[in-house]
Chain A
Amino acid sequence: ETGVTQTPRHLVMGMTNKKSLKCEQHLGHNAMYWYKQSAKKPLELMFVYNFKEQTENNSVPSRFSPECPNSSHLFLHLHTLQPEDSALYLCASSLHGGEPKEQYFGPGTRLTVT
């Protein structure tokens, strides 16, 4: 699979579990993003990494912990989640942070918290 890949595609976890979402981009980009997409709501930007450095944390609760070991990989570590955290989590990348238009999205991870 080319472009931006995300694993797993579906995840069901209990409130006490710890899990991680993985994103990989094959586009040679330097910026990566995590978004949350809930039904009937706009995409919410969670985190931005530019050249492996976190440049934005959009007031995200600490139960979400991002990690960017290199420009091609991005993780979202999850622990002690709440049912309202159930959503589609989308990863995106762009050539540079602040790039106005060219963000490429992965297919998302559908997360259900029980």
Chain B
Amino acid sequence: QKEVEQDPGPLSVPEGAIVSLNCTYSNSAFQYFMWYRQYSRKGPELLMYTYSSGNKEDGRFTAQVDKSSKYISLFIRDSQPSDSATYLCAMKDNQGGKLIFGQGTELSVKP
């Protein structure tokens, strides 16, 4: 079983739609949860960061962590064509361990 599971997509939605991206994980020691966005021909850039459980909102983006279910989500409201990218979830324990990434979900927002 992979430590982090993420549906690779591709996911195609119309402009203005609400997008839900998800990851599940198996390691209950994970405490730090991140979402990276990677545009084509670019490196990943940190989009959202959450510690432990709960929600975090930043503009059109909301990150949710449900540690009891070992499930994290990223919601994008009013999606735009400029949101078209691959979204990577990543997580880490608090013992100095390495970042563990999901395989990424490719998102396409159509005008």
Chain A residues with CB under 8 A of B103: 40-42
Segment with Cβ contacts to B, from A12-20, A64-72, A95-103: A95-103
Contact of A45 among B8, B99, B102 (CB under 8 A): B99
Q: Is A4 an interface residue (CB 8 A)?
A: yes
Contact of A107 with B42 in the complex, beta carbons under 8 Å: yes
**Given that A56-B98, A101-B34, A107-B41 are contacting pairs, would A43 and B49 also be in contact in the complex, using a CB cutoff of 8 Å?**
no
Q: Is A81 an interface residue (CB 8 A)?
A: no
| Contact-residue size bin, chain B (C-beta under 8 Å from the other chain) | 20 to 34
**Given that A48-B98, A56-B98 are contacting pairs, would A43 and B88 also be in contact in the complex, using a CB cutoff of 8 Å?**
yes
- Give the number of chain A interface residues (Cβ < 8 Å): 22
Residues of B that sit less than 8 Å from A by CB: 2, 4, 6, 8, 32, 34, 36, 41-46, 49, 88, 90, 92, 94, 96, 98-104
Residues of A that sit less than 8 Å from B by CB: 4, 40-43, 45, 48, 56, 58, 90, 92, 97-98, 100-108
